[in-house]
Amino acid sequence: MIKVYEELATFIAEVDDEKTLSGVREALDSGVEPLLVVESLRCGMSTVGERFESKEYFLPDLILSADIFNQAIELVAPYLKSEKEKSRGSVVIGTVQGDIHDIGKNIVATMLRCAGFEVDDLGVDVAPEVFVARAKENGAGMIAMSGLLTTAFDAMKDTVQALADSGMRDSVRVIIGGGPVNETVLTYCGADACGKDPAEAVRIAEEFFGKKEDVL
């Protein structure tokens, strides 16, 4: 089992779609626990994030690895029907109102799922009240907002304010991200943290929820 875990983690870490998907099929056909398959894929994706941070990998590698992960999860999904994986926390994510860029947001959503978080992706051009309503509905502990345009800053600020007006600000953490987002924008918006890349977003989520990924 350890060999399968290490092989699948290596395949996706090397962004090899053929080996990853065939490896997942073989593992499931041979009776490997589906949750072990998912954990191995997550481990590999963590390595992808680390390589991105160290400049060994670039944005295309992140996008491709996320696509491979999603394809692999589709293969595993039928085997998980009777197994409920414990979530590490619930996150609502979306690109803020007035902005329709979604590549970065999609990668962060996938990386959070890789790390074991339950992610509700609201898509793009999401109004402040929609973020708040969905967080309330899901009992989410974190809202993650993405924006590539400088005009997104006001939408981020409005969302934080809407969260405060709802009385949920103390129970829901807020993280923002996107190309132009920095500490100055963080202060302006009143969010709790800003992530410069997907790997950092995962680390921030882990810190917020106070849980670190288990090591097999």
Q: By the 8 A CB rule, do 117 and 48 touch?
A: no
Q: What is the pLDDT of residues 119-146, one digit of tens each?
A: 999 999 999 999 999 999 999 999 999 9
Enumerate domains of the chain plus CATH numbers: 2-80 (1.10.1240.10), 90-209 (3.40.50.280)
Task: Report the distance separating Cα 29 and Cα 43, nearest Å.
Answer: 21
Q: Which of 132, 126, 134 is nearest to 101 (CA)?
A: 126
**Number of Cα atoms under 13 Å in the Cβ half of residue 200:** 13
CA–centroid distance for 174 within its chain: 14
> Two tokens at 119?
């992610």
Q: What is the pLDDT of residues 159-210, one digit of tens each?
A: 999 999 999 999 999 999 988 999 999 999 999 999 888 878 989 999 999 8
Q: Is the pLDDT higher at 178 or at 154?
A: 154
Q: Which pLDDT value is given to residue 53?
A: 82
Would the pTM of this model clear 0.75, i.e. be above it? no
Q: What is the pLDDT of residues 87-121, one digit of tens each?
A: 789 999 999 999 998 878 988 888 888 778 999 99
Residue 12 has a CB neighbour count (10 Å cut-off) of 28
> Two tokens at 135?
């967080």
Q: By the 8 A CB rule, do 50 and 57 touch?
A: no
Nearest 5°: phi and psi at 193?
Answer: -160, 160
Segment 73-100 shows an average pLDDT of 82
* Continuous segment of H or E residues that includes residue 130: helix 128-138
